[in-house]
Structure 1
């Protein structure tokens, strides 16, 4: 039975770009989404043009038990996990509610860890597996007004580095990418003035594209990176 690639958050801009990159390699896909069914159906149709099986998985990974719900829908082996879920919370940390902190923890870190734990036994048995987590530049540097988000992404980075040390001899690689400012709908809430100031800070002079993040993921899951393990790959235009 052919092993699948599971992409969480496949209805988002980066998730859709990753799905197309994987489809081009003729790999079967599990595409996870939470609410944006029309978006994920659209990318499903595009991926199926490569004549591969594409299955949809629905679940809310911001809840405790979200990873169990997703895992229980998988009917075939998974040899590649791309954990791409994410929501942001902008504002002063002392004004962040406990509920918002728990939500950020589940969607960015806890369900990522639990889903990885559930997929690991089969990967280790097969002596083959890849996991790539979508982190953030703020997980490395921290950001004022995004304190909880930064903390969760920092946790993802530490998890990646630690797990890679455990699984390397079993043929399972664990890596992450840390995007900088990407031109995706997550930027829609930022004013034009703030966007201009932000762009001027970037050495590259522009925001990143979802396709560039997807190409980094493709590299980390491909044979060209067979000796890359426990690495956080910056995709930030030199920022």
Structure 2
């Protein structure tokens, strides 16, 4: 079997890094997208070198209207896309300025849509092509003080469900992972007391790990999920089911 290439957006973050490690272990060559954290990408590439897969870093700002073009222009052979770029925003809806709203929508909704549109022709004739988005539990149930984040993640979920129907006959499967509370830098703004309260609300009594999300992403990309498409898989310890 020849090389299989996967694009991971947001590969410099905690979840993106673990997805890259898992896919490299499974012999995927990787396009590793990042925006500003070049140091983290270079460290990741060094860590992945023993797997002897091709590793291609690509810088692009997906919160800007032309960011997806910069990324797409550097993608050649492609078998899988993992849409993982994103960040959270905490605050009341009444306190959000228009620039933040515009950049969050661009980063989470518009850029993934445009990037996927641009790259679909590369997937159309590949064997076992797949797309997986990393969305959020808040896109399923919504969260106070995270209205904007909930909105864009809900948009991602709807995008995944609709796209899966459109490209199924082309042999492309499209799914999403909706993580719950995962131990990454996105939780750094919470106090220790807040984190304990969250753990108390989760039936399994703990936060998830980025590695657990990565395992779920690989499952949806793999042949073990060959009859699964259009699904939003919760990885949330039983929280808000």
| 1:188-227 mapped onto 2 (5 Å cutoff) | 188-227=188-227
For the residues of structure 1 that align with 2:203 and 2:66, how far apart are their CA atoms? Answer: 41
Aligned to 1:159: 159
Query: For the Cα contact (< 8 Å) 2:123–2:129, is it kept in 1?
Result: yes
| 1:18-57 mapped onto 2 (5 Å cutoff) | 18-57=19-58
- Does 211-220 or 108-117 show the bigger shift? 108-117
SS of the equivalent of 1:6 reads strand
For the residues of structure 1 that align with 2:122 and 2:60, how far apart are their CA atoms? Answer: 22
**1:13 and 2:14 correspond:** yes
For the residues of structure 2 that align with 1:22 and 1:173, how far apart are their CA atoms? Answer: 17
Deviations 1:98-132 (A, max 9, x none): 11111111111111111111111121133542100
* C-alpha RMSD of the superposition: 1.1
For the residues of structure 2 that align with 1:35 and 1:71, how far apart are their CA atoms? Answer: 18
| 1:1-239 mapped onto 2 (5 Å cutoff) | 2-74=3-75, 76-126=76-126, 128-239=128-239
Query: For the Cα contact (< 8 Å) 1:127–1:170, is it kept in 2?
Result: no
Please report the TM-score for the alignment, with normalisation by the length of structure 2: 0.96
Query: For the Cα contact (< 8 Å) 1:2–1:77, is it kept in 2?
Result: no
Please report the TM-score for the alignment, with normalisation by the length of structure 1: 0.97
Query: For the Cα contact (< 8 Å) 2:4–2:27, is it kept in 1?
Result: no
For the residues of structure 1 that align with 2:87 and 2:117, how far apart are their CA atoms? Answer: 22
Displacement of 1:77: 1.2
For the residues of structure 2 that align with 1:158 and 1:164, how far apart are their CA atoms? Answer: 10
Query: For the Cα contact (< 8 Å) 2:91–2:146, is it kept in 1?
Result: yes
Q: Structure 1 segments of 4 or more deviating over 6 A?
A: none
Query: For the Cα contact (< 8 Å) 1:128–1:170, is it kept in 2?
Result: no
Displacement of 1:165: 0.3
Query: For the Cα contact (< 8 Å) 1:8–1:82, is it kept in 2?
Result: yes
- Does 124-133 or 99-108 show the bigger shift? 124-133
Deviations 1:153-191 (A, max 9, x none): 000000000000011111001100000000011111111
For the residues of structure 2 that align with 1:125 and 1:197, how far apart are their CA atoms? Answer: 48
- Alignment size in residue pairs: 238
Gaps of 5+ in 1: none
For the residues of structure 2 that align with 1:58 and 1:100, how far apart are their CA atoms? Answer: 21
